Structure 1
Amino acid sequence: MTDHLDTAAGRRIAYHRLEGEGTGVVFLGGLMSDMTGTKAVALEQWAALQGRPFLRFDYSGHGQSSEAFEDGCIGDWAEDAREAIERLTEGPQVLVGSSMGGWISLLMCRRLPARVAGLVTVAAAPDFTEDGFWAGFSDLERAKLMREGRIFVPSDYASPYPVTRRLIEDGRDHLVLRDPLALPFPVRFLQGTEDSSVSVETALRLFGHAKGGDIRLTLVKGADHSFSTPDCLKTIEAAIFDVLARI
């Protein structure tokens, strides 16, 4: 059953929550993804078998939540995540961030350090608005974006989607690879070698930048950005088990 959380900013966030015992797990999805995706649902089923608390939710402008996707930005979605974690979970959580959710989860590690027990990322895409979109645009595309407020970029999963000037400019206020990134808890970064959206170089840059005593990067040969095959799902579950065992 889908429930809804009304945020301080007036956005309505759709979520599914499992009750349970022990350290909870929170899944943070990717850009234009939603909480009905393969990884989110599979991990909820895994958590149910464990009797463990679990939360999945839709950022504003995604899935069943309020607002339009085009109106959103990293700051909005990070605030949605912060309120969901603070108001819908109890105690420290293991965050599982997929793609953009990896970036959002890293922001949560900075903003809610007392509520993060561990971190697993899947094809994490930190700073992608600057290092992916903006860096990849031509001078003409940049000029059009600044002049018209948006341009459309192709997607591997659907029709082209809008990248807005607000998304780019707001993203610059939330970058995590330019300043120290302390992760003082168990961390497992997972990355596929055939990911056409997030490069292995990005994963290595994050791995090299993060500071902590228990950080590991696992490269899965042949895995793509979705990281949703049965073997990949088992890899995610194993990473969560590993983090939980070391808390």
Structure 2
Amino acid sequence: MSETSGFLERPGGERLAWRRVAGNGPAVVWLGGFRSDMAGTKAQALAEWALATGHAYVRFDYFAHGESSGDFAQGTITRWREDALAVLDELVDGPAVLIGSSMGGWISCLTALAAPERVKALVLVAPAPDFTAKLMTPEIPAEGWADLEANGVWYRPSLYGDPYPITRNLLEDGARWSILDSEIPIAAPVRILQGGEDPDVPWRHALELAQAIKSQDLVFTLIKDGDHRLSRPQDIARLIAAVEEVA
């Protein structure tokens, strides 16, 4: 058994990079975070698990992420949601288990809401629903708002590398996909792993998501000393255990 790779052709000539392990279902589908990619520690660990166990697995890079084409400044929640739905339609047979990390947790929820018949369960790691409005917007400094007003873009400093563009279009589009203001009608099983020392997604934000989701088959795990990435060996072990439980 091996992992294959390729590209999905998308509107406008853009291409989504993907990797897939053919195996027993339901397929586990990795949805990464904002400015993350499918070569990260957790995504790679799941690929190794799939190869070892014979489980079907798909990982991909959103528009303007990783190996996929596109200008990151043109990215929106709408576009990345469409990418996830395209992957389900074209690369997955039958129901899938969605594994969403950070922004991928939000995209996973939006995907489950759009195609509930295709989603068997969700495993969410430090999920960041509504992050554009609830986590990012309150932290934009005065000079950032001035840049957004004048140029439509602000370059936000990052703990993980070079500053990156936050556009007015991203913020306005993200507000249209808010899910935390009412009950979220997801009935599938949900497992949430959240670090108590996460500097990017406060654990109370992830708990708010857990409380809003309709499903009664939901387990929220607080890893008190965990950070945002939850990529330590013990965190990876918890992730794989959660995936095995629902898959």
Whether TM-score is above 0.5 comes out as yes
The letter for the 1-side match of 2:109 is L
> Which consecutive aligned stretches of 4+ in structure 1 deviate over 6 angstroms post-superposition?
none
Aligned to 1:229: 232
Q: Pick from 118, 123, 130: which aligns with 1:120? A: 123
| 1:7 maps to 2:7 | no
When the two chains are superposed, the root-mean-square deviation of aligned CA atoms in Å is: 1.2
Task: Give the alignment's TM-score, normalised by structure 2.
Answer: 0.95
Identity %: 43
Q: Select 2:178's aligned residue among 170, 175, 179.
A: 175
Q: State yes or no: 1:154 paired with 2:157.
A: yes
Which of 133, 139, 144 is residue 130 of structure 1 equivalent to? 133
User: Which residue of structure 1 lines up, in the alignment, with residue 211 of structure 2?
Assistant: 208
Q: Which whole-Å CA distance do the structure 1 matches of 2:63 and 2:142 have between them?
A: 31
Residue 38 of structure 1 pairs with residue 41 of structure 2: yes
State the distance in 2 between where 1:74 and 1:37 align.
21
Deviations 1:194-218 (A, max 9, x none): 1111001101111111111201100
Q: 1:209–1:167: structure 2 CA closer, same or farther, 3 Å change rule? A: same
Helix, strand or coil for the counterpart of 1:3? strand
Match in the other structure for 2:202: 199
Runs of at least 5 residues in structure 1 that lack an aligned partner in the other structure = none
SS at match of 1:33: coil
Q: Name structure 2 gaps, 5 residues minimum.
A: none
- Equivalent pairs counted in the alignment come to 244
Matched, 1:77 2:95: no
Task: Give how far 1:227 is off.
Answer: 0.6
- Aligned match for 1:88, one of 84, 91, 100: 91
- Report the Cα distance in structure 2 between the residues aligned to 1:187 and 1:172, rounded to whole angstroms: 24
Q: TM-score, length-normalised on structure 1?
A: 0.95
Give per-residue Cα distances to partners, 1:64-113, cap 9 Å, x unaligned.
10101111111111111110111100110000000000000000011111
Deviation per residue, 1:33-88 (Å, 9 max, x gap): 11100110100110111111100000010111010111111111111111011110
